[in-house]
Structures are given as structure tokens and as C-alpha cells.
Amino acid sequence: MIIQKELIHVLKISKENKIYQMCKENPAVAVVESGAVIAFETSDAFNDQVISEEQGIAKLDWDQVNPATGPVYVEGAKVGDVLKVQIQAINIADTGVLAAIPDAGLLGDQVTEPEVKILNITDGYVHFNSEIKVPVNPMIGVIGVAPAGEGIPCGAPDSHGGNMDNKKIVAGTTLYFPVFTEGAMLAMGDLHAAMGDGEIMVTGVEIAGSVKVQVDVLKGRSIAHPILETNSHYYTIASHKDLLEAVKISTAEMQKIVMEKLGLSFNEAGMLLSMAGDAEIAQVVDPLLTARFGLSKDILPEIF
């Protein structure tokens, strides 16, 4: 006899449910229980406005840039809890947009004319031109919860997540967010087919798509900044207008965790991180800059 597993219902959130800032005043587009599986359909960071290389970004309505889909209210999430978001799948469209924009990014002061490439994605590669192709690494640029105070534009990262532009946020990983308001109010968007650390010209391969996640509320533990778990590592993530401060905050967060979980002194935890931890850059082009500090799960098997 074949016992058929009960199909898990997936709630779909259409990309018509758009926000341009993460804010606790935003009305929820759906209310779900802890443990729910949700598929967020997402527009690209240009709100799907770039339709040809010729037109480029000349006619862009910049007020529509950096949308996120949501927010979703997760029942039981209270201030001080942790929202666990398991990224089960990321699906991306067939084409993505890459751009050079005057005065944007690390080299923007030398960009005299804007330029847009609409790139085809086939067989697991982004085709930059007829000779150069890059393996796809579908990742989420914007994902987060409502911040504690005033709303924060989706184009900015902070302790609530937001535009972290972290290429490690891929399918199979899990994010942990501090909960700053009842229901947490999860939203996401801004997928990239590929992006290098730093995102030096301000765009990855910007692309529409969808993300399937499972959300769970964790009680009894608070965090101040997002944490990412991959198969092999934990990463503490921090954003600040000064990159060195972002690196310091992410390092200090990991050090606190290591002291608590491994029972080490401050000096010991620091020495361990100096020997085995990695201070890394997520992005250096958004309103705040984002760093992540990685430590192998061989050393730190679990945080939660």
C-alpha cells in the first residue's frame, strides 16, 4: 500500500502586494501560523521597468525602485522573539538586468553614460556576452522584518534585514531575524541571478522570480542583528554607514555567541575567531554597508 504524504499547502503572495519601505504600520497582506510555508512572487529591483537595453534606465521611475513583496504577519511573533526563515527554493526568470549608472557604486564617478545589459540565463549560466558566462547563484537581495522605529526604505539594510545584498542568502539557507513588532511582518524582493561580494556597481543580475520559505517563531532567545545559517557556517550580519563599524558589530555579535555557546572567555573567543573566523563583505554600495562574520559549524555546531 502506498501512503501518500499530505501535501503541504503553500500560501502564494502575489507581487502586486508591494511595499517600498519596511514599516510596522504597513498592513499585513496575509496572516500565517508559525510553521507556514509561503511563496513570495517578486519583481526585480527596478520593479520590472527595464524592458530593453536601448531604453535602458532613461525612463525609469526611481520612486518604484527596490520594491519588496509583503508583509506577512506571523502569528505568535512578539517583540524580542526570533523569526526563523528557511529558504526552501528560489526560482528566477529567464533574463536579468545588469547596469552601469553614473555616480552609483564604487566606480560610478567614472561612469559617464548609463548602460544596461539584459542578460539571458540558460543552463545554469548568466551569459554576459558570447564568450563570458557566469554560473547562476540565485540569491535574495532584500529580505527582512519591520524595524523597531520609523519605516526604513527597502533599498536600505539595517538590523531588521532589508537590502543586505548578501550572496550567501540562497536556497537551503536559514535566516534568523530579531522581531521588533507583533507578527514580525516579513517581506522580501530584489532577487539576483548572480552578484559578487560588494556589488560594486550597485546592481547584481537583477531579476524577477519567487521565493518559497517556511517561517517559524522561536521563543526564549533574542538577537540584535540578523543571523544566517548555511550547511557549513553561521554568519552574523551587521550594517552601518561605516564599513569598519559593520565589520566590528558582526564580529562582536559572533564573539558573544561563541562565548555563550562554547563557554569561552572574551579573550579565548576572540583568539578563536582570529584563528578560524572570516570577516567578509556583503555589499558596500547601499545606504548602509553590510558585513558578515562567518564561523564553521565544525567549531560552532548550533546557535539556536
What is the binding site for Ca ion (CB under 5 A)? 141, 163, 165, 190
Nearer to Ca ion, 67 or 141 (CB): 141
Output 71 or 141, the one with its CB closest to Ca ion.
141
What φ, ψ does residue 222 adopt, rounded to 5°?
A: -115, 150
**Least CB distance from residue 219 to Ca ion, whole Å?**
31
Q: Which residues pair with 190 in a beta bridge?
A: none
CB of 256 to Ca ion, least distance (A): 28
Position closest to Ca ion via CB = 141
Helices and strands (H and E) in the chain: how many: 2, 23
Closer Cβ to Ca ion, 17 or 163, answer by number: 163
- Residue 119 C-beta: closest distance to Ca ion, Å: 17
Q: Identify the three-state secondary structure at position 63.
A: helix
Nearer of residues 206 and 216 to Ca ion, judged by Cβ:
206
8 Å CB contact between 70 and 17: yes
Residues 6+ apart with CB under 8 A from 115: 56, 99, 100
Helices (H), the chain: 243-262, 266-276
- CB 96 to Ca ion: min, Å: 13
Q: C-beta of 208: minimal distance to Ca ion in Å? A: 14
Pairwise CA distance, residues 292 & 304, whole Å: 18
By DSSP bridging, strand 186-192 and strand 95-100 are unpaired
**Shortest Å distance, C-beta 274 to Ca ion:** 31
Distance CA 154, CA 50 (A): 19
Q: What residues are paired with 280 via a beta bridge? A: 292
List Cα–Cα distances, 141 to 53, 57, 79, 202, 254, in angstroms: 22, 20, 24, 11, 22
Give whichever of 165 and 280 is closer to Ca ion, judged by the CB atom: 165
Give whichever of 141 and 226 is closer to Ca ion, judged by the CB atom.
141
